[in-house]
Structure 1
């Protein structure tokens, strides 16, 4: 992102004075999808693309926030009980409220922000926005007294309370804790995490953005979370002497024991989650051994589970996954919440050009547009730029 561009928009729309500039990244997730809210493991990394914002206290009664990309200005007061109606602004309003709840004495401010995280690509532009403003408000008004984990939880609470998405903590965690050249294995139950060097020799990590985002009725994300909770409830009834907080606490035998006590759909969802928990740990072992073939195999297994068991894929993403298989790509899967967005692909250097050319050609022939190629560079988490 261009610092001077963000600054020029800030100066134009406000009083000509400059403020502080902050940035926070989007993320990729190598493996471990829909496991965070089930207490399992995830394996994300921050990327170079993200959100950049210039912010300055204004001494007024209202917060004035300008979205450079949308060319939209929103005003709200700190103690407004309802907040703005525009969805993008509710992320920022929510962060203001959550930081105040943490004891940060947030004062009215002017802000302008822009992003280069592709919207709808499953790279968590919303978490980048939340983390950017949480970090900034902590720096400006809290003297950095709020911990990084509290910043993560403030972003998650914003999704829950102000957006209506009952997300886990992976997206905000990656955006806050990311480090250049490192992936992270996060235990979403204990919050313990470990950095893993990500500098694979002979391979590239690349996203293919289908540019598709299917409109869905209801809340399919929350529906799948409810399925998992239904199975946890059944497990608790079947095994009253054991505590089941999430599907993380279940093993395969226990899941089979309640198969006839839950719906076929709920069972499929839970089956995917238990398998994904095992796959993340297998990938960690494979990476430590430099075994990228196993990493790739587990990625394909995850795609199958997301498509057939969790049912969050779509025709276009399955198409891109099949192209990857046909081209001999080491690993490929849908990335993110689903129903559109990207596949993430682990590709040997020697077939990279052929794979990209084939994917573009075949996808355009099938869907009348090319996928967008996003080469992944692992970057740093939320930070102050200047």
Structure 2
């Protein structure tokens, strides 16, 4: 990939730039907890974005996306927003830096990636982090890592139109080889936990399906969580999020909320506790408990939060049948991937069964991504 970028950069700009990379991410556990003030548990992966970049002495950006075979040129003023969707990410990062008082000048760039699009591994955050990290270094801006993650998030909000949390950009910037990061979405405090599952593989199975429900269903579930918090606040005024609620408090208001709202809240309260249980298990090197909690998350997302779908439940059932240590839907739901923690000796049989059974049932094969926990944004020497 780097060689392809080098050749194209030389062809377009007749010079050589600096090379930067940022990873996509997985989330081991902690789904739909972010907007409830809870914890998430991401890790950077060995797939991401690579870009070659060189300041060009003008006030314009000249950019080429190898994977889309597309070129864009644009200025740095607010009115210069490019029409190409991919270019808005680069433009947005520049604008967010400028808004914060950073001096960004024109540059030439070529980039490519190997994060599968639409598989829930955050190719967009990898792209934002690559350019945020690179521009910070090339123009000696002195922006700290937290602010770089926020710049990526603000790019999504203000230039792409996606009202995302901070997890994806945070993982892409702060990722560390052999470690997952427990991020407290309320305080933004974080802690690294060792993730070296010797004798296991971490594998994503992509259902290659995305159901259209996602955005309206997401908003509805968020509303359910807020409804329950509002009722609990009558007797516990200090409660701000479901993060502050335990099962006892939830059960006390069961008759005052709808059955649906109760189920949604039950999942979130349990999921926040599962993240803490997985933290303890990782510190002990207890991957069996990690796997058990992953299955519990899948059950909760499927039956209580109702964001799974037939295809994901099917892949989860196959994992159970094959003795996979842990498996769950990863991401918001309604399609995308399952994340699976598989003992090395069960890996081949599991993949073979998953592919044949899925094809027989749905007429298409899933996609397979082996992932390794890797470092965050960096310059490539």
TM-score by structure 1 length? Answer: 0.93
* In 1, Cα distance between equivalents of 2:70 and 2:135: 21
Find the partner of 1:361 among 356, 361, 365. Answer: 356
Query: Residue 81 of structure 1: SS of its match in structure 2?
Result: helix
Change (3 A) 1:98 1:269: farther
Structure 1 match to 2:125: 127
Find the partner of 2:196 among 199, 221, 240. Answer: 199
1:39 aligns with 2:37: yes
Change (3 A) 1:65 1:227: farther
Which runs of structure 2 are paired with 1:147-166 in the superposition (5 Å)?
147-166=144-163
Change (3 A) 1:82 1:307: farther
* In 2, Cα distance between equivalents of 1:360 and 1:190: 42
Change (3 A) 1:115 1:199: same
Q: Indicate the RMSD between aligned Cα atoms, in angstroms.
A: 1.9
Cα offsets for 1:94-132 (capped at 9, x unmatched): 211211122211112222211100111111111111111
Residues 13 and 108, structure 2, Cα contact 8 Å, conserved in 1: no
Query: Residue 98 of structure 1: SS of its match in structure 2?
Result: helix
Residues 232 and 253, structure 2, Cα contact 8 Å, conserved in 1: yes
Change (3 A) 1:77 1:283: same
* In 1, Cα distance between equivalents of 2:22 and 2:191: 20
- Tell me the CA shift for residue 218 of structure 1: 5.0
Residues 24 and 115, structure 2, Cα contact 8 Å, conserved in 1: yes
Give the number of aligned pairs.
381
Structure 2 match to 1:342: 337
Structure 1, unaligned runs of 5 or more: none
* In 1, Cα distance between equivalents of 2:282 and 2:374: 19
* In 1, Cα distance between equivalents of 2:331 and 2:360: 25
Structure 1 match to 2:168: 171
Structure 2 match to 1:69: 67
Cα offsets for 1:230-255 (capped at 9, x unmatched): 3333433x1363241x2212222333
1:209 aligns with 2:206: yes
1:9 aligns with 2:8: yes
Structure 1 match to 2:237: 241
Tell me whether 221-230 or 180-189 shows the greater mean CA deviation.
221-230
Structure 2, unaligned runs of 5 or more: none
Cα offsets for 1:40-61 (capped at 9, x unmatched): 1111111010011112222233
- Tell me the CA shift for residue 323 of structure 1: 0.3
Structure 1 match to 2:302: 307
